């Protein structure tokens, strides 16, 4: 992708123009990032049907057998988005990566057990448990202000 910046003293507010032969997902992602908009819905798959998933309903997102799944109160759905892409999408929100294979929505965290040396056990409001890998402990502490 070529990027060109032109300085014009007459220009009072920045203007971005994208020249392309077709609209692609990377172009849409770029437009959303530049306009400050984020995708409000994720697309999940279950039983050969496509579901729109509101991020506020997501409990956690995890990787299992080289596939990405999202857990909501209504069920588990398969995603085609990679975990690192979801981490980038939710950067600066209450979605925090806790291991190489999981992102947790901290709105659904009930408590944290920090008694184990070097790791944190997360108890979810839905009854499940997850563990923060050592690599992500400092990130969680920073998020919580500890």
Q: Is the pLDDT reported for residue 39 higher than 60?
A: no
Sheet holding 109-113, edge to edge: 109-113, 120-124, 129-132
pLDDT above 90 (res 32): no
Beta bridge partners of 98: none
At residue 35, what are phi and psi to the nearest 5 degrees?
-85, -5
User: Which tens digit of pLDDT belongs to each residue from 72-114?
Assistant: 999 999 999 999 999 988 887 889 999 999 999 999 999 998 8
Q: For the whole prediction, is pTM greater than 0.75?
A: no
Length of the chain: 146
Burial (CB < 10 A; 0-12, 13-18, 19+), residue 97, is buried
User: Which structural domains are found in the chain, ordered by start?
Assistant: 25-144 (2.40.50.1020)
Q: How confident is the model at residue 23 (pLDDT cuts 50, 70, 90)?
A: confident
**Exposed/middle/buried for 119, CB within 10 Å: 0-12, 13-18, 19+?**
middle
């Amino acid at each position: 992708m070529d990027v060109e910046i032109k300085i014009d003293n007459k220009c009072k507010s920045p203007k971005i123009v994208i020249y392309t032969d077709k609209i692609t997902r990377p172009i849409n992602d770029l437009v959303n990032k530049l306009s400050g908009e984020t995708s409000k819905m994720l697309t999940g798959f279950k039983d050969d049907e496509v579901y729109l998933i509101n991020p506020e309903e997501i409990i956690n997102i995890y990787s299992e057998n080289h596939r990405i799944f999202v857990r909501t109160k209504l069920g588990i759905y398969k995603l085609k988005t990679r975990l690192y892409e979801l981490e980038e999408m939710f950067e600066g929100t209450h979605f925090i990566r806790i291991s190489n294979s999981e992102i947790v929505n901290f709105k659904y965290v009930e408590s944290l057990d920090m008694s184990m040396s070097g790791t944190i056990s997360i108890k979810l409001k839905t009854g499940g448990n997850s563990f923060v890998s050592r690599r992500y402990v400092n990130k969680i502490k920073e998020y919580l202000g500890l």
